[in-house]
Structure 1
Amino acid sequence: MLESTVKNFCINFNVASEGRTFRSGQLVSGHVSFDLSKKTKITDISMRLKGQAHIHWSTGGGKKRRKRNYSANVTYFDLKSVILQENSAIGESVKLQAGTHMYPFTCQIPQGDFPPSFKGVCGKIEYMLTVSIHRPWHMSKDFVTELNLINSINTNQPELRAPLSGSNQMTLCCLWCASPAITMTVSVEKKAFTPGETVKIICEFSNGSSRTATPKVKLLQKQTFYTHERVNRRVYDKNLASGFGQPIHAQTCDVHTEMMVLIPQSASLTISNCSILVVSYSIEVSVTVCSGPDLTVLFPIIVCDTPVHPQPPPYV
């Protein structure tokens, strides 16, 4: 069997990149190495570089509802090349001696606006490098390595660097009586952040009611999966991080406070350039009161791979 003949197979990259991270248009080079336990005939060693998105989910099932499956695929590129080939002139397989063998390879990720790598609830975007060893009269043996592709955005866009602000208010009612309003004004220093970065939220509250109000903040991720032409969709909301501020006592005005929320290092990048899979983020700031609805302000944000510096305050 090939498994017992080929041992210690490894794909080594020349670029010392943490997590095998690459970008669109980047050259991927390195070498493959493996040990043969005995003299072996090889038809060829081929390489395939493929990028694709795939989504799938099911609904229904059981006695009363027929199960329905939804799926879609998008292929961004599918490149094939040969690392080692048989002697085509005489049609003979290459005979490799027992021992260690090493072969260099080079390929290039196409230039394009490809979405970043992602694994979600109902789908994924993946970029795979597959090396296949073919032998006469044998099934090929595939060795698959996953590449982490990231896409960069133009961080000089003014809307990414500009601060975000919003406000809201509500009045609590009891029978025919209405208390003075609870108001909130919230600001975030910019719109774009990187994984591992802390978001600072500056808040101003006034609590004219007779109840204590508690501010809180959430980092929300939304995963949306579509079939082709976006005829059907499935949405998953996820709370990635949360925090609380100091309680705002009744009949208190002009309370200034700050809250922090950390974007997890493992957070995927925002995905808006895939036709069947979208990943978006938002910061939700709210005030909770006993026996009353939440007062909420929502800020859509971008999670990207390049640090974005906030817009400097205007010169006075």
Structure 2
Amino acid sequence: MADEVKMLGLLFDHDQGYSSGEAVSGHVLIELSVPIQIKTIALYVSGCGRVGWFDGSRSQPSGAFNIVLTPFLSHCAEEKEYLCLSKTLLEATGNDDLSFEAGRHEIPFELELPQRPLVSSFSGKHGSVCYSVKAVLQRANHHDQHVCRELPIISHVDVNSPELVCPVSESSEKMIGCSIFASGPVSLKVNIERRGYNNGESVPIYAEIENCSSRLVMPKAAIYQIQTFKARGKTISYKQVVASVRGNHVPSGCSVTWNGKTLKIPPVSPSILNSDILRVEYALAVIVQIPGAKKLKVELPVVIGTTPYNGFGSCSLGVISRFSTGWFPLTVPDTPEAPPNYADVVSQEEFEQHCPPISPSQHSDELERQAAGHAFAYIHEFRFRPPPLYSEIDPNPVECQTVFSV
């Protein structure tokens, strides 16, 4: 009897994800080896969020002389229902069941999601949000047969909303050493053009690192994902780095400016801010690592959205005004590239053809003729002469900028 229904399946019209108010459509697939009688074919859509973890606390057992602390583990768990829908696709009337011939059958379905906001699908360290569609086949004198498939839900976050398009800035300072052994402060100022970004976007970071200490410090930037879970009045968080970039060392007494250093956002889950048991948030942090001391860190909250940024409504002029001290939001490479080698551009044959060797007797005549004529008449003679050798070491070095605190 089990071989009568060879296959029971679910097929969605698209798998990119569904949002509030959209219709979930597709087909229930049935393949039969023999003709059968069916009472109903129903569809159920459900979704819930679940969180849970073991909380370890220590308690003191009874007894005056017993000082051993024993661990006690409690399970913190919470569940929240977000969606519950059902729809009957086919149903027998009266006492007559529905007859299905042997072969393959496709029953179309369409079920509209509610207009209220739904929490995005997510799987995290201590919890998840999961939606599913289940098709149930009922026959007389047989156990119900069903097939279940996960339904991806996306709760759209518009990065063009007014609170997400304005710049965010933060600053911090740390004194290195203590008392009479203090070597000086390290200060950090960070600014980003807006709070809202999408997957695949690059975040331009504007920062100024001033090192008045006696140590060599290293700045870097990172994007953190912060997962927060709540159950039974308790909260637990999990934090992980999803992207990072390093800067150049900052010597003692110097300052370094990031004029739009970019950090690309990898494919990550959008921010989840509409659930009371699970939240997914992001932060952009600029960190200055200081040898022998705690790192200096500035964190700016960011929101990962789902709608494309349209470029309007951004308060980018505020970024310029914040950095009116001399650095503007211009993207400049951190390390300049060396120019091409002269030998790679002009071959030795071309050089000898256009610049034949000049004998000492001809040299004085050539100089007199150039002095008497116009300079532009002889410019072509310098086209194939090599430029000065390139070097990344400045022959006339300038002392790095020294920062004085007032």
Partner of 1:84: 90
Q: Cα 1:61–1:311, aligned 2, differ >3 Å: closer, same or farther? A: closer
Partner of 1:240: 242
1:36 alignment partner, one of 32, 43, 66: 32
Deviation at 1:162, TM superposition (A): 0.9
Structure possessing the higher radius of gyration over alpha carbons: 2
Do 1:54 and 1:125's aligned partners in 2 also have CA atoms closer than 8 Å? yes
Matched, 1:6 2:2: no
1:54 alignment partner, one of 47, 50, 64: 50
Partner of 1:103: 107
Alignment partners' CA distance in 1, 2:258 and 2:306: 32
Higher strand share: 1
Deviation at 1:9, TM superposition (A): 3.5
Q: Cα 1:59–1:312, aligned 2, differ >3 Å: closer, same or farther? A: closer
| 5+ residue gaps, structure 1 | none
Higher helix share: 2
Alignment partners' CA distance in 1, 2:57 and 2:173: 45
Tell me whether 241-250 or 56-65 shows the greater mean CA deviation: 56-65
Partner of 1:279: 280
- Kindly provide the amino acid, as one letter, of the partner of residue 9 in structure 2: C
Within 5 A, what are the aligned runs for 1:1-316?
1-2=1-2, 4-14=3-13, 17=14, 19-60=15-56, 64-86=70-92, 88-89=93-94, 91-173=95-177, 176-227=180-231, 231-256=233-258, 258-265=260-267, 267-308=268-309, 309=311, 310-313=314-317
Alignment partners' CA distance in 2, 1:135 and 1:196: 50
Deviation per CA, 1:176-232: give whole Å up to 9, x if none.
Answer: 22223211111112101112222221211111122111001111111111125xx12
- Give the TM-score of the pair, scaled to structure 2: 0.70
Q: Cα 1:6–1:313, aligned 2, differ >3 Å: closer, same or farther? A: farther
Q: Cα 1:82–1:297, aligned 2, differ >3 Å: closer, same or farther? A: same
Q: Cα 1:20–1:37, aligned 2, differ >3 Å: closer, same or farther? A: farther
When the two chains are superposed, the root-mean-square deviation of aligned CA atoms in Å is: 2.4
Classify the secondary structure of the residue corresponding to 2:119: coil
| 5+ residue gaps, structure 2 | 59-68, 322-406
Do 2:158 and 2:305's aligned partners in 1 also have CA atoms closer than 8 Å? no
Classify the secondary structure of the residue corresponding to 2:152: strand
Partner of 2:329: none
Classify the secondary structure of the residue corresponding to 1:196: coil
Q: Cα 1:156–1:94, aligned 2, differ >3 Å: closer, same or farther? A: same
- Kindly provide the amino acid, as one letter, of the partner of residue 97 in structure 1: E
Tell me whether 246-255 or 185-194 shows the greater mean CA deviation: 246-255
Tell me whether 109-118 or 28-37 shows the greater mean CA deviation: 28-37
Alignment partners' CA distance in 2, 1:36 and 1:61: 56
Q: Cα 1:205–1:59, aligned 2, differ >3 Å: closer, same or farther? A: closer
Q: Cα 1:41–1:67, aligned 2, differ >3 Å: closer, same or farther? A: farther
Do 1:217 and 1:259's aligned partners in 2 also have CA atoms closer than 8 Å? no
- Give the TM-score of the pair, scaled to structure 1: 0.89
Alignment partners' CA distance in 2, 1:166 and 1:187: 7
Do 1:244 and 1:259's aligned partners in 2 also have CA atoms closer than 8 Å? no
Deviation at 1:258, TM superposition (A): 4.5
Alignment partners' CA distance in 2, 1:136 and 1:72: 38
Classify the secondary structure of the residue corresponding to 2:274: coil
Alignment partners' CA distance in 1, 2:11 and 2:223: 37
- Sequence identity, in percent? 28
Do 1:245 and 1:257's aligned partners in 2 also have CA atoms closer than 8 Å? no
Relative contact order, higher structure (CA 8 A, sep 6+): 1
Tell me whether 177-186 or 125-134 shows the greater mean CA deviation: 177-186
Alignment partners' CA distance in 2, 1:312 and 1:202: 12
Deviation at 1:175, TM superposition (A): 6.0
